[in-house]
Amino acid sequence: MTRCDFSLFVRRGLAKHHNIRIMKAATRARVGLLLVAVAFVLAIPAPAQQLAKRLILKDGSYQLAVKWEVKGERVRYLSAERNEWEELPYALVDWPATDKFEKDRAAGVPSPEAIELDKEMAAERAADEAKTPPVAPGLHLPEDGSVMLLDTFQSQPQLVELQQTGGELNRNRKDNVLRAAINPIARSKQTIELDGLHARIQAHATLPAIYVNLASQGDSNATAQQPQQPQRPWDRFHIVRMQVKKDKRIVGDFKISPIGKVSQEQNLVPTTSQQLTGGWVKVTPTSALAPGEYAVVELLGQEGMNTFVWDFGINPSAPANAGTLQPEPKPATPQPDKP
């Protein structure tokens, strides 16, 4: 064999060996894909391959079944829950209801359970909204009883809670003694005062709305031993403008006659009252409020005025109030995918 023939023989052998390696690799790849497909098919449970049906019984209950067959007076069905063949009497099945359910499901009609669940969720939402009435888009009153002021800061509505402050009763003994000495039948004067020149809460809107709900607080303070108190009028809350003197804010004053008759005076702001759901009362000034110090007071008829008040101020240039409730952010609108 010449050198040329020997080289040709070697090249043919190498080519044949290379083709065999390619064929073996292709065979292994096909076998691997086949094993993956078989494993995927075996991993799927048999009942999941078919949509479970309802075999509705005359008592209103039902059995989830993959399929069934009627044999005389018995119905044999494959349970979708237990994956076993079971039987029940033919007379127990409500066949019209079973057929109707299958037709409705094929037509996309919601199931009775889904309809009932939607009704329950709608009722819960309505009950929650009744307890927390909306005051602005995306802004609701809290569920707990409190006194809230609806403000507007930087064009955004905000709810800020007003804290109750106890007024001090100034009996003005020095002035009263002098007045009595000059005019023995003159009335003595007492004032309700708050410390400080300004309230902690300063509203930026000149026409704020006040929302009052003290029902839960009143119920929590009541005890079984206390006698039943008469129901107080819902429109007993008003707004007064306070007079600032030195380092005090005067809410109102009492005048006591020598015979003990008491009269009370406040600088009341004209307001309107409106009952809302959830025990809330809305108090709104009839006109814009001038910058100054104000308070929400509770007038108790013949009992006078509650010395515990909810103070606030009007100052459009005041800084932002802390701890405000703001509208919930709107959910982001999904943008279409760009090509």
Question: pLDDT tens digits for 119-161?
Answer: 777 777 766 766 789 999 999 999 888 999 999 999 999 999 9
What value does the mean pLDDT of the chain take? 76
The DSSP symbol for 173 reads: H
Map out the domains of the chain as residue ranges: 48-109, 138-219+235-314
Q: What value does the CA radius of gyration of the chain take, rounded to a whole number of Å?
A: 41
Closest Cα to residue 267, out of 245, 238, 246?
238
Over residues 17-43, mean pLDDT: 49
The CATH class given to the 48-109 domain equals mainly beta
pLDDT number for residue 188: 52
DSSP line for 88-156 = EEGGGB-HHHHHHHHHHHHTTPPPHHHHHHHHHHHHHHHHHHHHS-EEETTEE--SS-EEEEEEEETTE
Question: pLDDT tens digits for 285-323?
Answer: 999 999 999 999 998 877 777 889 999 999 999 999 999
CA 152 remoteness from chain centre: 21
Question: pLDDT tens digits for 194-225?
Answer: 999 999 999 999 999 999 998 744 443 433 34
pLDDT number for residue 189: 64
pLDDT number for residue 130: 65
| Burial (Cβ within 10 Å: 0-12, 13-18, ≥19) of residue 223 | exposed
Amino acid identity of residue 44, one-letter, is I
Confidence category of residue 168, pLDDT binned at 50, 70, 90: confident
The DSSP symbol for 20 reads: H
